Structure 1
């Protein structure tokens, strides 16, 4: 049986490997070419389409939470385990390279909205759910070339998110992977990383 941390590492590596392939044909009707400007659901669909059939077959999307109408972004069934994973974009720059004023709160806000959740509030949602534990989180991170804010780099984001989950919710969390990718089309979303975290309920 695979360890959940190994499954998350494999997912991150698989996603990072195929993102350049998904990016090659990604054309947006409004924004510049490339996968980066697309919304989270579209990106995940494009990435899954590029995975080998065996790997893609292990991943189910929009899976209902047990006992309610909410849906989990992905559930991976591999190596004898079933691992629910919520995914979010970590894309702090707009199409023109300026800072996205809404992205920070969509990642780090601890206050649940009526109609949506941040990646931070996804952590207690998963841990308190009736899904089998442990669970995971996945971030699709894009970095501007020559990013002037060191705090917006992948390693810093991974560390801050881990600290914030522990601070707000007293949940055991570990960063399991930071898998880089590069060579993308978009002038401000040319490279980044797939980041995964493991959430433990004990």
Structure 2
């Protein structure tokens, strides 16, 4: 399983310009969720393989556009299961107070 954090804002509340690189970059040296999925699909690990993205959501920066972009990009390199997701809220951090966890099984390489 590979796990990534999607924090569209920094700890201080400013936009995090690097957040989408960690999820969407097609370049292996960035170690994004996208390249992790491809690497897992080609691995010989026994058992299920999965990508998990936990993200914080904000009123002016919802997670859905970034997650949709990940799914569209991932579909070009791997076959993902249907998305599973769960919400969380009530965090005490002044900026990161709620969000969702998303997960997909990797079912193989894209056709």
TM-score class, shorter: 0.7 to 0.9
Aligned mates of 1:98, 1:124 — CA distance in 2: 31
**Cα displacement (A) at 1:143:** 1.4
Deviates more, 1:96-105 or 1:127-136: 127-136
Partner residue of 1:164? 73
Partner residue of 1:124? 38
**Cα displacement (A) at 1:134:** 4.1
Kept in 2: contact 1:182–1:190 (CA 8 A): yes
Kept in 1: contact 2:3–2:33 (CA 8 A): yes
Higher alpha-carbon Rg: 1
Q: What is the number of residues matched between the two proteins?
A: 109
Kept in 2: contact 1:162–1:174 (CA 8 A): no
- CA-based RMSD of the aligned residues comes to 1.7
**Cα displacement (A) at 1:156:** 3.1
Aligned mates of 1:97, 1:124 — CA distance in 2: 32
Partner residue of 1:72? none
| 2:88 counterpart of 1:185 | no
SS of 1:157 mapped into structure 2: helix
Q: TM-score, normalised by structure 1?
A: 0.50
SS of 2:13 mapped into structure 1: coil
SS of 2:70 mapped into structure 1: helix
Q: 1:90 to 1:175 in 2, by over 3 A?
A: farther
Structure 2: stretches of 5+ with no match in the other structure: none
Aligned mates of 1:155, 1:178 — CA distance in 2: 11
| 2:108 counterpart of 1:201 | yes
The one of the two structures with greater contact order (alpha-carbon pairs below 8 A, sep at least 6) is 2
| 2:19 counterpart of 1:103 | yes
Partner residue of 1:173? 80
Structure 1: stretches of 5+ with no match in the other structure: 1-84
